[in-house]
Structure 1
């Protein structure tokens, strides 16, 4: 019985050692969406709505951070659809306060993508999740760390005029929107 418990423990340790992990504080590199196009489609005192279009070769998370900085999107939410050639998603391992990487190394459809933008220490933080559909219709989903566009990914971004701020959450290691700020 003890040797079985040791074997299981070793197997779990080896599985953890082989999995790629991502720290929640990993910086998002700027400037990786050179083909990004932006069009303002609605402009009212309460909100602005933008179409943000990415083309082949763009990395969408980097582009959305660039968009948030350039257009002062300090309180926004968005949806998107399109297709990508590869991705890195993540599953939050709350007990370890890290993301376990879910690599996608094939052409897939983005069947659902949603997220928000709020600020932390006066810088926009883009938070997005996606569900991707493979050729056979099976899906994979998670927190977005990288989306390599092919041929296009179309976002509709609603930017509100009341800034949202994030605060650190020590139990999870995450930055959470704080509606009291």
Structure 2
């Protein structure tokens, strides 16, 4: 009986492991690598009460989502929005499949122009979360777009980021996404 009680206690007390996405899909909770933008530089270009504007420049080989996440951590940013233009040598974009609660990958493995990259940063469990979408122009002028998981710069990407002093927080949504909750 004691062995059965111990087994029940272990099952009840063990936290559930995160679900692995189905083959060929990307989890919305995919971790972001740290330190993948060693060439990133930035400058504070404007400050006013409650708001700061930064110019952030990425160099060849930098990975943008990692760099923006590191930048937000280092500068204590938990509420921001940004736009960017430039070029990349590869990217991993994705489209959210609502019934699957996971992303379908859209790899771009060729030199492309970043026609537009927009996004925001908000906090989740004390950490900044970068949410970005990109439209990329391929060599023939066709485009690919979607949620940005990775974007590897070549030769540069110019980001203008506005950070606000009032933090925004995200909450887990039943869809599996972490969404900004203005009530938080």
Task: Indicate yes or no: 2:53 matched with 1:49.
Answer: yes
Task: Indicate yes or no: 2:150 matched with 1:146.
Answer: yes
Q: Which residue of 2 aligns with 1:64?
A: 68
- What do residues 34-60 of structure 1 show as CA deviations (whole Å, max 9, x unaligned)? 000010000111200001110001000
Say which SS state the counterpart of residue 22 (structure 1) adopts. Answer: coil
Task: Indicate yes or no: 2:117 matched with 1:113.
Answer: yes
Q: Which residue of 1 aligns with 2:176?
A: 173
**Segments ≥4 residues shifted beyond 4 Å:** none
Structure 2 residue runs of 5 or longer lacking an equivalent are 1-21
Q: Which residue of 1 aligns with 2:19?
A: none
Q: Which residue of 2 aligns with 1:21?
A: 25
Task: Indicate yes or no: 2:166 matched with 1:162.
Answer: yes
What's the offset of the Cα at 1:20? 2.3
User: Structure 1 length as normaliser, TM-score?
Assistant: 0.88
Kindly report the root-mean-square deviation, in angstroms, between the aligned alpha carbons of the 2 structures: 1.0
Task: Indicate yes or no: 2:92 matched with 1:85.
Answer: no
What's the offset of the Cα at 1:89? 0.3
Q: Which residue of 1 aligns with 2:138?
A: 134
